[in-house]
Structure 1
Amino acid sequence: MHRLTSLFLALSIVLGTFIVVSSENWFIIWTGLELSTLALIPLLCANFTPRNVEAAIKYFLIQAISAALILNSALINAWFFGSWSILSPTNEVSTISLSIALAFKLGLAPCHFWFPDVLQGLPFIQGLIISTWQKIAPLILLFSFSSLVNSNLLILAGIISVIIGGWGGLNQTQIRKILAFSSIGHMGWIVITSFYSINIALIMLFLYLLINTTMFLLVEHLNIFTLGHLNVATYISPKAPALIIVTILSLGGLPPLTGFMIKFLSLTILVNENFILLSSLLILGSLLSLFFYLRIAFNTSLSLFPQHIVSLSSWRNSTSSATLPAKTWFLSFVFIVSAIGLPIIPPLYMNV
């Protein structure tokens, strides 16, 4: 694909997201979502391999269903209340329709079935766009109009997402599928927290986007597709294993890394609201996901993990080592600085 064409499509994706965030009309919001989706589809199938095209078609179908549900919800409101404004009242049918549409777009369980399969069929950069940027518009909609959705339905979906995000990744050896189930779990945390504190949910979203972007860029540059490729990361780039270990452990939420703040802030709010059972279920889901995060860290540090193949790369025949690009160094530097600074500066989050 020509560079100018890719740039135009990328700008259209950004424009679509900003239209959604800044609009107060349901039809304009639907237009922004469709603009972002249609601009992304050509980028998803840029390689034009059968698996790539299949993933792009699945993504398009799911996004078309969710967009249709949003438009249907807006039409019901316009029919009953004569207004397309997001400030107009809503009835039960449109509320449920909007909640299901957001669950599809965010990959919340039980509407998550498309996300691991689509992410597995795409290159890392396209997968990064789907798991980070494309989640911003639906989440901002949820943060801004939480009164317009069925909170009980989405909280239940968030709990199931955290558990499935941990359970589904246990038996995976493909890095992209592991990151997909990780994304499902984190979306559950953010969605549940958003109903009790919008500010903390925004902080959690920012930290998740930063850590997940760093992880995707690292594995994309090192061509790490399975767990078996991790044990040669040291030879490919001697500085990469430390970055991978710190990033993946932060994604898992181990203290005192930045990812721990995602779970700590959420649990603080939930415990203060006396949701002890809900907090326990979230902790259980995080403990399940911690298994495959530690599995990645062990393999990267050359601590061989049992019951899977750990030698899939012919590293003895390699003659050159790779250097991490500037974009990865920049994001890694920002992440490491935040990992050191955030846990030891309580004023950043204690008064949120």
Structure 2
Amino acid sequence: MNSNKMFFFFILFFSTLISISSNSWFGCWIGLEINLLSFIPIINNSNNILTSEASLKYFFTQAIASINLLFCIIIKMMFMKNFEMNNTIMIMMNSSLLMKMGSAPFHFWFPNIIEGLSWFNSFILMTWQKISPMILLSYWYNNNFLILIIILNSIIGAIGGLNQTSIRKLMTFSSINNLSWMMSAMMISENLWMFYFFMYSFLISILCLLFSMINMFFINQLFFFNINYLIKLSLLINFLSLGGLPPFMGFLPKWIIINFMLNSNLYFLTFILIMMSLILLFFYIRILYSSFMFNYLKLKWIKIKIKNNMFNIMNFLSFFSILGLITSTFFFM
């Protein structure tokens, strides 16, 4: 990685800190703008036309959301004492932040842009780029509007991934579905949101690293690639953990959120989240089916080789997902 990109990563990191630690909405907006302008050079690669297109699309959508957010901040300062106007501005501001993080129903740009990114940049877009908008959303939100958004995220994230063959797009819709869980956690407690976000980022990082190592972007590549069975097992464990299937580690934060939501009498919302997670598990298993079932080696065209040290790191990270049953048992004793 060259020094220019390292410089932009440094700015990306500090722009998020500026945004979440600012004591005014205008300061938050400046942090978001610096974040946008530092991420575009990271994703832009002159050798690949898709990344150039993705960076241009990302700039336009984020700029529209930023203009809307700035407009809401100015109007809020002008009509601070008007309660009815305040409620309208709140929904508009929430919508701008939802668009910035790629949440449904403002997710139209997310799958298209991620298709032109590398796995590392996809990981940043699915995790780090959601921190600032999520924390700013937790400061000031309309409760009923947020519940509606949670339901939309859950349904669109689950159904949108059903007809996809691109693994990056599948991970995008998975990210949209996981946003519904993050927002539910945010409504309960910021600490719970941080815990869920950390667990989600950890699982996504393993999968993105694995797909990057074997250079895989589409489901049908699993049919052609001859992959070590331990890598397949690692893929299985981490996908099922990301889907929230017990007894894997990914089930733990979802279990905590379900308990809190049931105590708050949000039965319908809990039912929607659980049902949509089952659809999510279905298309995770569809990815794994090609890898496990079509195991006749004469059909495999390409032999995938991974360095031993990377292979050991992957197995070590996957081991944490298996510890979910023990951790969950002790957590609720």
Write the mapping of 1:1-352 to structure 2, written as runs, cut at 5 A.
3-81=2-80, 91-143=86-138, 145=139, 148-232=140-224, 235-303=226-294, 314-315=301-302, 318=303, 321-323=305-307, 326=310, 330=313, 333-337=316-320, 339-346=321-328, 350=332
Change (3 A) 1:240 1:347: closer
Take 2:329 and 2:22, find their aligned partners in 1: how far apart are those partners?
33
SS at match of 1:195: helix
On the 8 A contact 2:248/2:323 being kept in 1, the answer is no
1:102-137 superposed Cα distances (whole Å, 9 cap, x missing partner): 211222211111111111121111111111110111
RMSD of the TM alignment (CA)? 2.5
Number of the residue aligned with 1:308: none
1:344 positional shift: 2.3
1:51-102 superposed Cα distances (whole Å, 9 cap, x missing partner): 22121111111111222222222212222349xxxxxxx9123211211012
Give the letter aligned to residue 258 of structure 2: L
SS at match of 1:177: helix
1:332 positional shift: 5.6
Stretch of structure 1 that moved more, 192-201 or 95-104: 192-201
On the 8 A contact 2:114/2:122 being kept in 1, the answer is yes
On the 8 A contact 1:231/1:302 being kept in 2, the answer is no
On the 8 A contact 1:108/1:158 being kept in 2, the answer is no
Number of the residue aligned with 1:85: none
On the 8 A contact 2:91/2:142 being kept in 1, the answer is yes
TM-score for both structures, normalised by structure 1: 0.86
Take 2:57 and 2:263, find their aligned partners in 1: how far apart are those partners?
41
Take 1:325 and 1:116, find their aligned partners in 2: how far apart are those partners?
33
Change (3 A) 1:45 1:325: farther
Stretch of structure 1 that moved more, 249-258 or 261-270: 261-270
Unaligned ranges ≥5, structure 2: none
1:320-344 superposed Cα distances (whole Å, 9 cap, x missing partner): 7222664x7547634522x244442
Take 1:39 and 1:344, find their aligned partners in 2: how far apart are those partners?
41
Give the letter aligned to residue 186 of structure 1: N
1:251 positional shift: 1.0
1:273 positional shift: 1.2
1:294 positional shift: 0.7
Change (3 A) 1:293 1:324: farther
Take 1:216 and 1:325, find their aligned partners in 2: how far apart are those partners?
17
Take 2:47 and 2:144, find their aligned partners in 1: how far apart are those partners?
41
Give the letter aligned to residue 336 of structure 1: F
Q: How many percent of aligned residue pairs carry the same amino acid?
A: 33
SS at match of 1:301: helix
TM-score for both structures, normalised by structure 2: 0.90
Give the letter aligned to residue 217 of structure 2: F
SS at match of 2:79: helix
Take 1:221 and 1:246, find their aligned partners in 2: how far apart are those partners?
17
- Count of residue pairs brought into register by the alignment: 328
Unaligned ranges ≥5, structure 1: 83-89, 305-310
1:250 positional shift: 0.8
1:229 positional shift: 1.3
Change (3 A) 1:65 1:250: same
1:279 positional shift: 1.1
On the 8 A contact 2:237/2:322 being kept in 1, the answer is no
1:203-236 superposed Cα distances (whole Å, 9 cap, x missing partner): 1111111101111111011111111112455x34
SS at match of 2:260: helix
Take 2:65 and 2:330, find their aligned partners in 1: how far apart are those partners?
36
On the 8 A contact 1:109/1:160 being kept in 2, the answer is yes
1:164 positional shift: 0.9
